[in-house]
Amino acid sequence: MDAARFLSCPEHSTRRQFLKTLSQGIGSAALAASAAPYVGRAALPDDETLGVALVGLGNYATGQLAPALQETTKCELTGIVTGTPSKAETWKKKYDIPEENVYNYETYDRIADNDNIDIIYVVLPNGMHAEYTIRAAEAGKHVLCEKPMATSVQECKDMIAACETAGVKLSVGYRLHFEPHHQRVMTLGQDEVFGPVTVMQNGFGFRIPDSATDEPHIEWRLNKEMAGGGALMDVGIYAIQGARYVTGEEPVAVTAQEYKTRPEVFSDVDETLFFQLEFPGGTVVDGSTTYNGSYNRLYATARDGWFEISPAYGYGGVEGRTHDGPMDFKSNVNQQARQMDAFAECIRHDRSPRVGGKEGLRDLEVIEAIYESIDAGNTRVEIG
């Protein structure tokens, strides 16, 4: 029997309900210890997958996450949330999703009653992440939320608090933590394999053509309320992440500059930013981001050598090298499938996710400091 239909059949529902009750019973000791209800699924048999509902069926959900969910082995696509009935019909047919697992933004909270959905994956515009994550937690569901985690530090804190209160796990869609080249540079930097990293150059940008500004997936990206900011929130965040996971440290200060060559397009959000991050161990990072051109690179020089990933931040085609030669990893692994399976395993075994809410919060702290530096006339701003 096909998996989605299997999950929706009454016999299976009863079994899942039994397992949920069982795991909540097991959790009473954990509850006493942690003061949070336990909603892990340690009691699930090894061959049972966790159900994922995607919220927001836009470009990323359609082009990357749904296909990745066909490759996962620990979780599977069991539900969708969409405001567009025609999309619901297409997805139901394509992925065999039963009607009772299809929600819209009005019925969203009723997912609380659906035992075939364990994880809610929020893939909405950035300005909606906080609300839909908090509502997912209140529905008792574990949450994977896309990057940037939210549009402010305060929202991130509220999301973390809501998930802690509900006793559900929270992770942020930083897929590169599951990509071998990026895992390698984490080791090279943090273990000081070539000595301490002294200087990094990290940048990620792409060009938004004037002709594309009214396309739905670009329109919200140019709106501060929906996006939280411009290129920095969308892709510059990867340069910040890279700096943090290569050094394994949190930046202590930043100085930033902004340039706008098309102010009529970028009236509400940033177009091109440069920022210099200072780390406590002495590493200085030259970061940049833009919506006005294409670059995609992480480069680190250390006392006794160097390493880089270029192209660095895509879904595939990743290539890395050091002063010794090329890194010998596959350039294409399914980063999203790996991340979702790893999250499912954390839920099943009640472990902390590799990329928890605090990862998202720390990036927002840096982002807010970058905007503060620009607003204050490019002055040096201390972080934390």
56 binds ligand NAD (CB under 6 A): yes
Site map 179..198 versus ligand NAD, x via CB under 6 A: --------------------
6 binds ligand NAD (CB under 6 A): no
Min dist CB 18 to ligand NAD, Å, is: 35
Place of tokens 């210890």: 33
Min dist CB 144 to ligand NAD, Å, is: 10
CB closest to ligand NAD, residue no: 58
60 binds ligand NAD (CB under 6 A): yes
Could you give the CA distance from residue 147 to residue 310 in angstroms, rounded to a whole number? 21
- Binding region for ligand NAD (CB under 6 A) out of 24-32, 52-60, 91-99, 304-312: 52-60
Who contacts 153 (Cβ-Cβ below 8 Å, separation ≥6)?
361, 364, 365, 368
Positive or negative, the Cα torsion across 362, 368, 371, 376? negative
125 binds ligand NAD (CB under 6 A): yes
Which of 14, 17, 21, 59 contacts ligand NAD by CB under 6 A?
Answer: 59
Which of 41, 135, 175, 362 contacts ligand NAD by CB under 6 A?
Answer: 175
Residue 76, classified by CB atoms within 10 Å of its CB into exposed (0-12), middle (13-18) or buried (19+), is buried
Please identify, using beta-carbon distances, which residue of 91 and 307 lies nearer to ligand NAD.
91
Which of 25, 83, 85, 196 contacts ligand NAD by CB under 6 A?
Answer: 83
Which of 66, 69, 120, 124 contacts ligand NAD by CB under 6 A?
Answer: 124
Q: Strand, coil or helix: what is 74?
A: coil
Structure token pair of residue 336: 């999203």
Give yes or no for a contact between 254 and 275, defined as CB atoms under 8 angstroms apart: yes
Structure token pair of residue 259: 């340039």
Could you give the CA distance from residue 272 to residue 57 in angstroms, rounded to a whole number? 29
Which of 25, 196, 216, 282 contacts ligand NAD by CB under 6 A?
Answer: 216
Please identify, using beta-carbon distances, which residue of 198 and 223 lies nearer to ligand NAD.
223
Could you give the CA distance from residue 125 to residue 150 in angstroms, rounded to a whole number? 9
Strand pairing class (284-290; 272-278)? antiparallel
Place of tokens 């992480």: 298
Ranges within 131-170 binding ligand NAD (CB under 6 A): 146-147
Ranges within 302-341 binding ligand NAD (CB under 6 A): none
The residue count for binding ligand NAD (CB under 6 A) is 19
Instruction: Tell me which residue of 313, 343, 341 sits closest to 71, measured CA to CA.
Output: 341
Who contacts 279 (Cβ-Cβ below 8 Å, separation ≥6)?
243, 247, 249, 250, 251, 252, 285
Rg (CA), the chain: 21
126 binds ligand NAD (CB under 6 A): yes
Give yes or no for a contact between 286 and 301, defined as CB atoms under 8 angstroms apart: no
Which of 5, 110, 207, 217 contacts ligand NAD by CB under 6 A?
Answer: 217
Please identify, using beta-carbon distances, which residue of 7 and 312 lies nearer to ligand NAD.
312
Min dist CB 259 to ligand NAD, Å, is: 22
123 binds ligand NAD (CB under 6 A): yes
Q: What residues make contact with ligand NAD under the rule CB under 6 A?
A: 56-61, 83, 123-126, 146-147, 173, 175, 216-217, 220, 234
